[in-house]
Amino acid sequence: MTTAANRASITQRLKATAVGRAVRRKLRPAGAMPPNPLSTYFENNQGRLIHKWLHYLPIYDRHFAPYRDKPVTVLEFGVNQGGSLQMWKHYFGPGARIIGVDIDQRCAALGEEQIEIVIGDQEDRQFLRDLGEKIGEVDILIEDGGHTMTQQIATFEEFWPRIRTGGVLLMEDLQTSYWPKYGGGHKKPETFIEFAKNLIDQQHAWHSRDPESLEIDDYTRTIAGMHVYSGIIVFDKADVRRPTNKKVGTPSFPK
């Protein structure tokens, strides 16, 4: 007969093995988040208020983990109550410089050690250019500001050139591309999602047979990969060269 103590010991041993971990992963309800440091921080937050969709947290960790405990510059558009800036400070560690941008003057009071606040309108391209000059290259940009199409596109266009090679630009709350209140609508050419679809073409300009309409540009030369999630697109920046291919090994049959 299995006693409570026996059951506890079996669970304990299961937890410690790779098989046990696989079983527990399988038993997790569909859509539940795998444990990750940001979800843990978020669920236990005692600091300033944070507002995030829950499935974003493992996505952040997946793409941001290599930058933890490094001297990175992290720029977030959309400060709100200041909680996400505190979360980034905790996550990236004591060497990180965290910059938050918001249009709301009240946010100016939310600066603290490692956290700088800049007040301005992300729809104003001159503001964005001045900000870029002031803060220099950015390792990680999180776009969580006003969420209108013009704001998202202006921020992406002005800041992509300012992301450090090897850095990441993460656009979030892209569901607004489907919400009329934000300028969205299915297949509306002005939406960020339609803009992003064109970026997929631009990434593939190396293979264009039609230079009149699709030509290699600075984006083609710097986009390593776009990762599309529900509401989020992550853009990896790198020094990208023309793709090459070759054959290796012994043929299995004549051509």
Ligand X SMILES: C[S@@+](CC[C@H](N)C(=O)[O-])C[C@H]1O[C@@H](n2cnc3c(N)ncnc32)[C@H](O)[C@@H]1O
- Which positions touch ligand X (CB under 6 A)? 50-52, 76-80, 83-84, 101-104, 121-123, 144-146, 151
> Residue 118: which of 162, 147, 168, 77 has the closest Cα?
77
Provide the minimum distance between the beta carbon of 118 and ligand X in the complex, in angstroms, as a whole number. Answer: 9
Nearer to ligand X, 118 or 240 (CB): 118
Spatial CB neighbours of 87, under 8 Å, sequence gap ≥ 6:
38, 41, 42, 45, 47, 50
User: Which single residue brings its beta carbon nearest to ligand X?
Assistant: 146
Residue 89 has φ and ψ, to the nearest 5°, of -60, -45
3-class secondary structure, 237: strand
User: How do the residues of the chain divide into helix, strand and coil, expressed in percent and rounded to 5?
Assistant: 40, 20, 40
Angle, helices 125-135 vs 149-159, to 10°: value is 40
Provide the minimum distance between the beta carbon of 228 and ligand X in the complex, in angstroms, as a whole number. Answer: 20
55, 147, 204, 207: the active-site residue: 147
Provide the minimum distance between the beta carbon of 103 and ligand X in the complex, in angstroms, as a whole number. Answer: 4
Provide the minimum distance between the beta carbon of 153 and ligand X in the complex, in angstroms, as a whole number. Answer: 13
Please indicate whether residue 90 is annotated as part of the active site. Answer: no
Nearer to ligand X, 21 or 106 (CB): 106
Say if CB 75 and CB 65 are below 8 A apart: no
Nearer to ligand X, 52 or 188 (CB): 52
Nearer to ligand X, 110 or 199 (CB): 110
Catalytic residues: 147
